[in-house]
Amino acid sequence: MPHMLNVTARQELISKILDTLMIVVEDARFDFEEDGLTVRVVDSSHVAMIKLTVDAAAFDGWELDAKKIGLEMKKIREVTTLGGSGDLIEISHQDGQDFTMSLGKIVRNLRPLDNATMASPPSLPKLDLPCKIIMNGAELGQALKAAKQVGDLVNFSIDESSFKVHVRNNTDSVNISFDKDEMDELVCDGAARSQYSLTYLEPLSRRFGPSDKVTIQFGENFPLAMNFTFEDGAGEVDYFLAPRVESDY
């Protein structure tokens, strides 16, 4: 019997999923499983990697046999523009057939991408990162926006008492310092500094609301790991970004 899938989601949930994934890629394989959705993507230069999961409970309908479906996200986005944030979008698929999205009376069918020819979703790194902070997402977003005004690479530095965001170009610099007591948590044994591309970080600055929390982990010339949730914790994003080390120049 062919595997079937019938899922219903509010337009705003789908929009949030796309807002995050489309920072890094245009196409993605959506892994629908019994207890929820998982999407893992990596950009073509293997610098930024995202694992996004959404519990089945965040959806308004969730009946399916597990399946993995490759999709062009700009087409999903088109359907979301036909409705408002609270409108329901019904998604259905049967093996070998089109992927179908319904919003009100609109039925959009699209051919899934061929999983065999798509790049495999990335394996997530097991990282043991020495420093960790938990901070306000909107404050981080404002810092990343300010950083992008001065350059394309941002320096994150940390020690026992503060986390700093810093960018310098020939004439200008921007510095943002968060003291330990201005954040929800700061755990770091020794000083560390690392540099990351704002190309993949700055778009996140528009992603966070005033009460969102973000967890950041990194170390000296180590990858950056960010974690944040949405939909009252039913959705979760793990974001990994390779460091830009000096020998890259």
Token pair recorded at residue 194 = 């690392």
Show contacts with a second copy in window 22-81 (CB under 8 A). Answer: 75, 78-79, 81
Query: Counting contacts by CB under 8 A, is residue 3 touching a second copy?
Result: no
Shortest Cβ 227–a second copy spacing (Å):
22
**What type of residue sits at position 158?**
I
Query: Counting contacts by CB under 8 A, is residue 184 touching a second copy?
Result: no
Report the C-alpha dihedral over residues 97, 102, 106, 108, rounded to 10 degrees.
-30
Query: Counting contacts by CB under 8 A, is residue 215 touching a second copy?
Result: no
Shortest Cβ 223–a second copy spacing (Å):
25
Query: Counting contacts by CB under 8 A, is residue 242 touching a second copy?
Result: no
Cα separation, 44 vs 67, in Å, equals 24
Which residue, chain included where needed, has tokens 């992927």?
99
Map residues 125-154 to x or -, x wherever contact with a second copy holds by CB under 8 A: --------------x--xx-xx--xx----
Cα separation, 150 vs 27, in Å, equals 31
Shortest Cβ 130–a second copy spacing (Å):
24
Report the C-alpha dihedral over residues 10, 14, 17, 18, rounded to 10 degrees.
-150
Whether residue 103 contacts residue 88, with contact meaning beta carbons closer than 8 Å, is answered with yes
The binding site for a second copy (CB under 8 A) comprises 75, 78-79, 81-82, 98, 104-111, 139, 142-143, 145-146, 149-150, 171-178, 182
